[in-house]
Each structure stands twice: as structure tokens, then as C-alpha cells.
Amino acid sequence: MNAPHTAPHLLPEVHTRAVPAALLEALQARFCAQFSSALVVREQHGRDESAFTVPPPAAVVFAQNTQDVSDAVKLAAQYKVPVIPFGVGSSLEGHLLAVQGGISLDVSRMNQVLAINAEDLTVTVQPGVTRTQLNAAVKSTGLFFPIDPGADATIGGMSATRASGTNAVRYGTMRENVLALEVVTASGEVIRTGTRAKKSSAGYDLTRLMVGSEGTLGIMTEITVKLYPLPESVMAATVSFDSLADAVNTTIQIIQMGVPIARCELLDANTIRMVNAHSKLSLREGAMLLMEFHGSPAGVQEQVETVQAIAAEFGGQTFEWASTPEERTRLWTARHNAYFAGIQSRPGCKAITTDTCVPISHLADALLDSVTEAQASGLTYFLVGHVGDGNFHVGYLIDPDKPEERVLAEKLNHQLVHRALKLGGTCTGEHGVGLHKMDFLVTETGAGAVSMMRVIKQALDPDNILNPGKIFKL
Amino acid sequence: MNAPHTAPHLLPEVHTRAVPAALLEALQARFCAQFSSALVVREQHGRDESAFTVPPPAAVVFAQNTQDVSDAVKLAAQYKVPVIPFGVGSSLEGHLLAVQGGISLDVSRMNQVLAINAEDLTVTVQPGVTRTQLNAAVKSTGLFFPIDPGADATIGGMSATRASGTNAVRYGTMRENVLALEVVTASGEVIRTGTRAKKSSAGYDLTRLMVGSEGTLGIMTEITVKLYPLPESVMAATVSFDSLADAVNTTIQIIQMGVPIARCELLDANTIRMVNAHSKLSLREGAMLLMEFHGSPAGVQEQVETVQAIAAEFGGQTFEWASTPEERTRLWTARHNAYFAGIQSRPGCKAITTDTCVPISHLADALLDSVTEAQASGLTYFLVGHVGDGNFHVGYLIDPDKPEERVLAEKLNHQLVHRALKLGGTCTGEHGVGLHKMDFLVTETGAGAVSMMRVIKQALDPDNILNPGKIFKL
């Protein structure tokens, strides 16, 4: 057990359930070398990218196929022991932490691309396939999968958290891009949801109920997602502004004009300084927008002209353009390195990361005051934003050994989230609720809706064995 | 009660529950002039556009606001009596029929446009607002709402059936376009789901669980949907083909090339004949594609050139083009009139309409054999297709007094659906399951998924009062 929590409202509640020796023996017998109770393996499966530390799971099962998942869940169900699906461990919200003990079910070896249906723009994969692996597998078809959270996450993890990333402005999130699923339920039964048809009115939308359910309603074992033709023409651009407000207002106008921009990302001057230090660059220390345009050559040209005119109105300067893949990668270096530049700007720190998303007209209201508060607090922070979607992340960098810093960061987080909710936004655009946003979820959607979620959870998982203790308290 | 069913597997099971006089009195007292038990009103609320006839509901309540809906549901819940939400009665699948008796809850007077947020491309409406009313209300903003089922349905009904229409190729269906809801639950409680933010990972996707649930999980009382900028340029086109296969293969190639076409509709030669007779036109009696392109002038021009080249490969002829709204309306007359031209080609008939949707690469396989079978059967039929989505409707026109015609039509329907399911498709692209596709749903998604739907229904509506007897048997 951890040391007693000094600030229990800021740290997850841990109520470890007993894992009977008989279950561990049964799992060992069934899974042999695919089973481990070694401390190092358990610890590796007992943490993620969140700022929380809780005791690791009692054992880890490495599933290789749907039958493995089903058998593991059936055994766990028999003993009413929690099962926590695990991909590559890139969750930011404590989704993978064994707050009620139990078994980690690692699906990273379920990494087969099962069917590429290029003529229908769909692909079916196992949950352990990562997004870069998927894109490598479909590259020869001239198609690509656009959803790109910061980490090279698994398609299973991305589906479970309803992830998005930089391309969502144009291509949507996992909500819009998952067509069909195979799912193992809390009883170990294997069901299918959805089809490869583009649209359907066939009963309850179980696919979208599972997407974003954070492993609490079922474990995905096959996932069919949409693919898109690689754009004929791609143009990337960066532009620097004297003030954060100018960069935000440029973004708002781009979206309101209906420009079909593919990516529109923001870094503030503070984060640019961190990136310059980390990557030995000399970018202008102002707020920077990073953009990408996809389409036909003529279509891209139209978008570029519109955006240039808008940025000029707000004093945008030092525009840089890139059309080849190599140049684009160079231009986007600042964005790609922002998270790590932020983390490494304070050695030994942990990041408490916000994830609000607001209607685009309220982006300035939501973002500017929150950044002012972060600056005034004295805490080190970074700011990256998928601002084309109205979504941005402030990362407060805290010393995990200084509880007062966690308290301060959570206070800033609280103010930021409540501001976004008042503006008609959501507490999480893409990371999920996990352990960290349960209270925010109630404020956002109301006790009635959370109660409905709870009723669904209890009906589908009566013994509360699927990733218990996440999203809401039962 | 109806006459005994001669073909029970083809007609809905009717198990009327008793409606206590005390409930009718309580509703009368609460709703006064908003309550009616007059036979003519009940009968008007006891039918829809399906080919079924069942006894009407025991009474009708005309709700004017959320409180009315909540109070009506609470009274019905107290007596465990069914409540069936009703908009304009345009369902094609028997959704509105009182197969278990109960109360019809008419929401057509809840027809206020509550908030137009043009700067965020969203609008919030009451459920009784129709799609043409919505478009009229937002016209001055330069925005539009693209979802357009054949009827001038309500946004509530369209949300409940996950409707789409001709623009779904480019703009998606109600699944992609509903952002947030206010819902009255089976206990009469009012809850909210979703926000106006473009994306969210905040817990279970209750919005999309409600969308397409056909009034069985809750009654929507406020609906927030996306709007889109009116395209700068719109071009419409029709093109005729010697064979149905050529028209279908042209469609497949347009979609596979990634042309961002807004609409791509198909009529077969048989249906063109019906339209010519109905509207006194002299269209070429071949398979016809009707298309529309949205975008910038240059973007539309690019699309047009690509599509012309593809159609030419398949022998497309008598291309007609239109760019002004009046010309476009004229050009699309055939499509707009197809359903009524079909129905009126056989006076007194009822239509049994199919609604399969398949992955685009299988469209030819799904469609051509089904049309051949319809032709060989001797039944009158029409064919209209949202083929850009892989979705098409065959309407079998039966004499309701000849049971053998219904049996034949259902046999053809059965063959058509099972063919689509084998090809990875769905039994319903946009109409919903209702009474008519319950068995198909089980074949399509499997007993496991339907069982999960049932568990959710029982958890959220334990007394089975919300539109009972639809989607699946309990």
C-alpha cells in the first residue's frame, strides 16, 4: 500500500480487492509463459503517463487472440476480480492504474492488421496495433489513418478513450472513425457491433457506446476504422504572432469561415522558449500557429490564400511554408517536441495536463484567462492546443515531492475546467475521464446523466470487474 | 383488436396493455385541452408510413414543453403504461404504432428554434421542429442543416431513427450531426447529454446511444445539431446510362477516387418510367444518376471534371448540368417525385420498402441481383438509391388486400437483406428497425449484441414503457 494520502481529494482512492491464489494458479495453468506475476512486469503495467502512483496489479496476462481475452475475463469473472486492459501505457488520466487491484490484460501482442479493404476505405485491426504500425501497413494502398494522439498509442487504447489529435479538425475523432468492433463482455462472451457499411440505423449504437468507455464496458478485440485517400497536395505553414490573443482570434476566424483546414495547432511564447532550449532552435519567441492544408493543388492554394489574409489582419509574421514531407517535418518540429520539451524543462517533474474543449467562439475566453492564471501562479507550465477544435492542453509541471505544488496545479486546473464548462465546453476533449476528472464529469453533464452511465455499467458488468473505479464512482 | 393475423411472422405482434381509467383521468386533469381521447385523433396517431395496421393508442397528449413531457411520462410510469413519442408520423417502419397500447405523446407543438449559434455552427431546437423549418430559421446566417430524409420529418424523429438522406455522402447522418441532447428518461427525469464542444471524451457517449434508439430509451426534448456554411458554389448534374450496372459502377469509382461529392442518387429505368408518367416528363428511360457538387468554384470544377471522365468510361450520356437553384430543382424533379410516382403508379397500394446499406465495393453485387429478382417477381417496384453511401431502397408495391403479394414482397425483401448482410452490410441504412426488421437485426449483429441492447433497455426502462415492442423482442 502507498503512504497515506495527504490530499485525498487530489489523489485516487485505492481499495484493492483480494486476488485469490486459486485465480492466479488457474491463470498460470491456462496461460503459462503468457502469464507473469513478477514485480517488474506488474510495476510496468501499474503506471501510465498520469501523475498518480498506486500499487501495481497482482499479475499480468499477455493475450494473443480473442480467445485468450475471453478466457482471462471468464476466469476473473469467476472470482469477481478486476481486469484492466493495457496497450502501450500511454494514458494520461490513470486509466491503467489498478486502483481496485486485479489483473492487467496486456493486448499489445494482439498486433495483427487483419483486413485492409482499400476499395471501401476501411481496415480491421487487433487492438494492440499502434497508429504508426497501421499507417505503415496501409501505406502502399495510397490511404492513411489520420487520428494521431501525441503518443504512438494503440488503436485499442485510442478507441477506449475516444482519442483524437492534430488531424481531427478535418477528419474527426475516434467517435467518427470507428465503424465496427468485436468486444469481449464482462462475462467473457464475444459480441460484434456495427458493420463495414458507411451508415446504419440498426438498433442501439453499441459501437459508439464502447468507444470512449475506457475499458469499463467491454474489452475490444477487433476494431474496424475508416481510412482516407492520401491528399494529392499537402502544404504546412507556421506563423508567429505578437500576442496569444492574435493567434487565437486568427484560429477562430479560420474555423468560422469554414476553411477545411486539416491541422491548426498553437504553442504559446513560453512553450516556444522550452522548445528552443530543448531542440536548439531559434524560433521567434511569440505565439505560434502551426497549420496544414490537405486537398487538390487548387484547393490547397485557395485555403492558403484565405488563411494568409486572416493571419495578416491579426499581425501574423514570419510565415514559413513547406510542401515536401521533409520540410513539413522540420517545420512541425516545435509541435512534435513540445510535450517532451515541456517535461524536460523541469527535470524530475510530473505534468498535470488539462484537456478542455469549448465551442470555437469561446476559445479566446477559455484560453487567455487560463494562461494568465498559469503565468501568475509561478508554476512552470506549457501550452499546446488543437485550437482548430477549440481544444487545448496546459501542462502544469509539478515536483511530485512537493504536495503544495500539486495543490496549486489542481487549483489552476479546477479554475480552467470550470471556466470551460461555463462556456458550454467539456472537461476532456480527447484524454478521457479516468481517475482525474470524475468530479468534473458530474459538473459538466449533471448527476442525472452520470447516474444513467452508472446504471448502464451495472447492467453490463454487475460485478464491476472491467477497469473498475474509472469515469465515475459506483 | 384487429382481425386475427393470417401471417403472424409478417405482421407485428399486438399485445395491448390495459390503460387504467385513472391514468386517463389524471392526464385529462393535467393536460386539459392538450389531451384527447377522440377516436379520430387517436387514429391519426396510430399509423405511419409503414404497411402495418394496428389499433390506435388509448389517448394522445400534446406536449408543449419539457415539463409536459416529464409529467406525462411520470404519470404513465406510475401506471406502467406505454408512451410513444410522435412527431409528424413519417416513420416507415411502424415506430409509431401502439403495438402494446398506451399513450401517444405528440411533440409537434414543441417546435421552437431555441438558440442559433452561428459563430459555432450549431443550433439547438425542440424535437418538433421540422428540417425545412430549421433551414428557414437559419437561412439568414449563411448556414444550413444538410440532413434530408424524404419526408419533412422532425429533428426529433430524425434523431430517434438516426436518419440521413441525400446529403449524407458528404455531411454524414444524424449520428455525426447531433452534438447534445436534453432527454426525459423512463422515470420522467430530465437529463442532459453532450455539450456544444466539437469533440469530447467525457464518459459514455449517451448522445449517440439515444440517437437511433427509436424512442425506447428516452424522449428527446432538446436537440443540438451541427450546421454548415452554404457552399460558395453548387453544381447539379444528371446522367443517363444504358445499364444499371454502368450507373452503379460509375458511383463506386467516384467514391473510391475520394471525390467529395455532396449527393449521388440513382433511379432505375423502371422508376424513370413511373416519374415520366407521374410528372409528365420525357426523361430518357435508362438508369439515371443525379449528383450534386459543393465547394469553391474551382473545387466544384475539379469534381465535375473527374466525374465526367468516370461516367464517360461507363457510357454515360445526356449529361445535364445546372448551377442556379431553380435549374437544380428542375433537374432533381425526378428524384424528388420518385417515391410518390412509385406509390401512385399503383392506386391503393402500400409500399414495403427495403433499406440495406453495404460497403461501396459490394454495391453492384447487392443491388443488381436484387433488382433482377424484383423484375422477375412480377410485383410492381421502384428503386431509389443513396448510392454514394452504398444505400438503396426497393419499394415493393403491394395490394394490402392480397396477402400473397405481401408474402411475395417479404420473400424478396428477405433475399435482398440476407444478400446485403453476407456482403458486410446492414439491414437498415437510415429508416431504423421498428417493427419490421427485428429478425434481420439479430442476423446482422448476432444474438450477443442484441442481448446487450436488451440489457441496456431493461436497465434504463425496467417497466418497458418507452415505445415498447420496437427494435427487439423483450
Distance from CA of A457 to the nearest CA of B (A): 9
Distances (CA, A) of B27 to B22, B23, B58, B104, B220: 9, 6, 12, 12, 20
Distance from CA of A221 to the nearest CA of B (A): 15
Q: What pLDDT is stored for residue A1 in this prediction?
A: 33
Nearest to B428 among A173, A202, A257 (CB): A202
Record: contact B448-A185, CB cut-off 8 A: yes
Record: contact A117-B361, CB cut-off 8 A: yes
Q: What pLDDT is stored for residue B333 in this prediction?
A: 85
Q: Are A398 and A51 in contact (CB under 8 A)?
A: yes
Q: Are A143 and A231 in contact (CB under 8 A)?
A: no
CA-based nearest residue to A467, from A45, A41, A40: A45
Distance from CA of A231 to the nearest CA of B (A): 9
Percent of chain B topping pLDDT 90: 92
Record: contact A203-B450, CB cut-off 8 A: yes
Q: Using a CB-CB distance cutoff of 8 angstroms, which residues of chain B are in contact with residue A146? A: none
Record: contact A197-B430, CB cut-off 8 A: no
CA-based nearest residue to A44, from A59, A63, A24: A59
What's the CA gap between B255 and B270, in Å, rounded? Answer: 25
Distance from CA of A33 to the nearest CA of B (A): 31
Q: What pLDDT is stored for residue B51 in this prediction?
A: 76
Q: Using a CB-CB distance cutoff of 8 angstroms, which residues of chain B are in contact with residue A427? A: 202
Record: contact B359-A204, CB cut-off 8 A: no
Find which of B148, B171, B199 to mutate to test the A interface (most A CBs within 10 Å of its CB): B199
Distance from CA of B420 to the nearest CA of A (A): 10
Find which of B121, B124, B189, B204 to mutate to test the A interface (most A CBs within 10 Å of its CB): B204
Record: contact B390-A472, CB cut-off 8 A: no
Q: Using a CB-CB distance cutoff of 8 angstroms, which residues of chain A are in contact with residue B208? A: 175, 205, 208-209
Q: What are phi and psi of A395, to 5 degrees?
A: -105, 110
Nearest to B452 among A229, A430, A460 (CB): A460
Distance from CA of A462 to the nearest CA of B (A): 11
Nearest CA in chain A to B142: A257
CA-based nearest residue to B374, from B357, B344, B354: B354
Q: What are phi and psi of A169, to 5 degrees?
A: -55, -45
Average pLDDT over residues B305-310: 96
Which three three-digit cell numbers place residue A384? 499546446
CA-based nearest residue to B444, from A288, A197, A223, A103: A197
Nearest CA in chain A to B448: A191
Distance from CA of A164 to the nearest CA of B (A): 9
Record: contact A197-B456, CB cut-off 8 A: no
Q: What pLDDT is stored for residue A471 in this prediction?
A: 98
Q: Using a CB-CB distance cutoff of 8 angstroms, which residues of chain B are in contact with residue A458? A: 459
B61 or A48: which leads in pLDDT: B61
Q: Using a CB-CB distance cutoff of 8 angstroms, which residues of chain B are in contact with residue A229? A: 257-258
What's the CA gap between A269 and B69, in Å, rounded? Answer: 52
Q: Are B265 and B239 in contact (CB under 8 A)?
A: no
Three-state secondary structure of chain B: CCCCCCCCCCCCCCCCCCCCHHHHHHHHHHHHHHEECCHHHHHHCCCCCCCCCCCCCCEEEECCCHHHHHHHHHHHHHCCCCEEEECCCCCCCCCCCCCCCCEEEECCCCCCEEEEEHHHCEEEECCCCEHHHHHHHHHHHCEECCCCCCCCCEHHHHHHHCCCCCCHHHHCCHHHHEEEEEEECCCCCEEEECCCCCCCCCCCCHHHHHCCCCCCCCEEEEEEEECEECCCEEEEEEEEECCHHHHHHHHHHHHHCCCCCCEEEEECHHHHHHHHHHHCCCCCCCEEEEEEEEECHHHHHHHHHHHHHHHHHCCCEEEEEECCHHHHHHHCHHHHHHHHHHHHCCCCCEEEECECECCHHHHHHHHHHHHHHHHHHCCEEEEEEEHHHCEEEEEEEECCCCHHHHHHHHHHHHHHHHHHHHCCCECECCCCCCCCCHHHHHHHHCHHHHHHHHHHHHHHCCCCCECCCCCCCC
Q: Using a CB-CB distance cutoff of 8 angstroms, which residues of chain A are in contact with residue B211? A: 205
Record: contact A229-B176, CB cut-off 8 A: no
Nearest to A459 among B205, B437, B459 (CB): B459
Q: Using a CB-CB distance cutoff of 8 angstroms, which residues of chain A are in contact with residue B456? A: 204, 209, 456, 459-460
Nearest to A192 among B256, B446, B459 (CB): B446
Nearest to B208 among A208, A296, A390 (CB): A208
Q: Using a CB-CB distance cutoff of 8 angstroms, which residues of chain B are in contact with residue A147? A: none
What's the CA gap between B293 and B287, in Å, rounded? Answer: 20
A474 or B183: which leads in pLDDT: B183
Nearest to A390 among B198, B201, B211 (CB): B198
Nearest to A120 among B161, B192, B361 (CB): B361
Nearest to A120 among B193, B359, B427 (CB): B359
Distance from CA of B343 to the nearest CA of A (A): 24
Record: contact B453-A206, CB cut-off 8 A: yes
Nearest to B199 among A164, A450, A458 (CB): A164
Record: contact B199-A389, CB cut-off 8 A: yes
Question: How many CA atoms lie less than 13 Å away from B219 in the CB half-sphere?
Answer: 35
Q: What pLDDT is stored for residue A3 in this prediction?
A: 36
In order of start, what are the domains of chain B with their CATH numbers? 113-229 (3.30.465.10), 233-422 (3.40.462.10)
Q: Does residue B5 surpass a pLDDT of 70? A: no
Distance from CA of B216 to the nearest CA of A (A): 10
Q: Using a CB-CB distance cutoff of 8 angstroms, which residues of chain A are in contact with residue B359? A: 117, 120, 122, 196-198
Count how many pairs of residues, chain A against chain B, have C-beta atoms within 8 Å: 276
What's the CA gap between B403 and B401, in Å, rounded? Answer: 6
Nearest CA in chain A to B259: A229
Nearest to B201 among A432, A452, A459 (CB): A432
Beta bridge partners of A193: A181
Average pLDDT over residues B446-463: 98
Average pLDDT over residues B128-139: 98
Q: What residues contact B209, with CB distance under 8 A and at least 6 apart?
A: A204, A205, A208, A209, A456, B217, B456
Taking every pair of C-alpha atoms in chain A, what is the biggest distance, in angstroms? 70
Distances (CA, A) of B474 to A189, A330, B10, B458: 20, 59, 18, 9
Q: Using a CB-CB distance cutoff of 8 angstroms, which residues of chain A are in contact with residue B434? A: none
Q: What residues contact A291, with CB distance under 8 A and at least 6 apart?
A: A236, A237, A238, A239, A261, A263, A264, A265, A307
CA-based nearest residue to B432, from B96, B72, B91, B6: B91
Nearest to B192 among A295, A361, A445 (CB): A445
Distance from CA of A40 to the nearest CA of B (A): 31
Record: contact B357-A200, CB cut-off 8 A: yes
Long-range Cβ contacts of A412-417 (<8 Å, 24+ apart) = A412/A370, A412/A373, A412/A374, A412/A377, A412/A379, A413/A352, A413/A354, A415/A370, A415/A373, A416/A354, A416/A356, A416/A366, A416/A370, A416/A373, A417/A354, A417/A356, A417/A443
What's the CA gap between A121 and B259, in Å, rounded? Answer: 13
Record: contact B445-A176, CB cut-off 8 A: no
Q: What residues contact A306, with CB distance under 8 A and at least 6 apart?
A: A254, A257, A259
pLDDT digit string (tens) for chain A, length 474 residues:
333 333 434 578 899 999 999 999 999 999 999 999 999 999 999 998 887 889 999 999 999 999 999 999 999 999 999 999 999 999 999 999 999 999 999 999 999 999 999 999 999 999 999 999 999 999 999 999 999 998 999 999 999 999 999 999 999 999 999 999 999 999 999 999 999 999 999 999 999 999 999 999 999 999 999 999 999 999 999 999 999 999 999 999 999 999 999 999 999 999 999 999 999 999 999 999 999 999 999 999 999 999 999 999 999 998 999 999 999 988 888 888 899 999 999 999 988 999 999 999 999 999 999 999 999 999 999 999 999 999 999 999 999 899 999 999 999 999 999 999 999 999 999 999 999 899 999 999 999 999 999 999 999 999 999 999 999 999
Q: What pLDDT is stored for residue A11 in this prediction?
A: 72
Nearest CA in chain B to A254: B119
Beta bridge partners of A60: A36, A104
Q: What residues contact A447, with CB distance under 8 A and at least 6 apart?
A: none
Beta bridge partners of A183: A191, A220
What's the CA gap between B437 and A397, in Å, rounded? Answer: 55
User: What confidence category does residue B2 fall into, taking pLDDT thresholds of 50, 70 and 90?
Assistant: very low
Distance from CA of B39 to the nearest CA of A (A): 32
Distances (CA, A) of B101 to A131, A309, B35, B46, B186: 51, 62, 16, 10, 17
Q: Does residue B445 surpass a pLDDT of 50? A: yes
Q: What pLDDT is stored for residue A10 in this prediction?
A: 58
CA-based nearest residue to A207, from A187, A188, A224, A190: A224
Q: What pLDDT is stored for residue A335 in this prediction?
A: 87
Long-range Cβ contacts of A329-332 (<8 Å, 24+ apart) = A331/A236, A331/A237, A331/A238, A331/A290, A332/A236, A332/A290
Record: contact B460-A458, CB cut-off 8 A: no
Nearest CA in chain B to A297: B299
Q: Does residue B136 surpass a pLDDT of 90? A: yes
Place of cell 492487467: A104
Q: Using a CB-CB distance cutoff of 8 angstroms, which residues of chain A are in contact with residue B168? A: 199
Average pLDDT over residues B90-109: 96
Q: Are B234 and B291 in contact (CB under 8 A)?
A: no
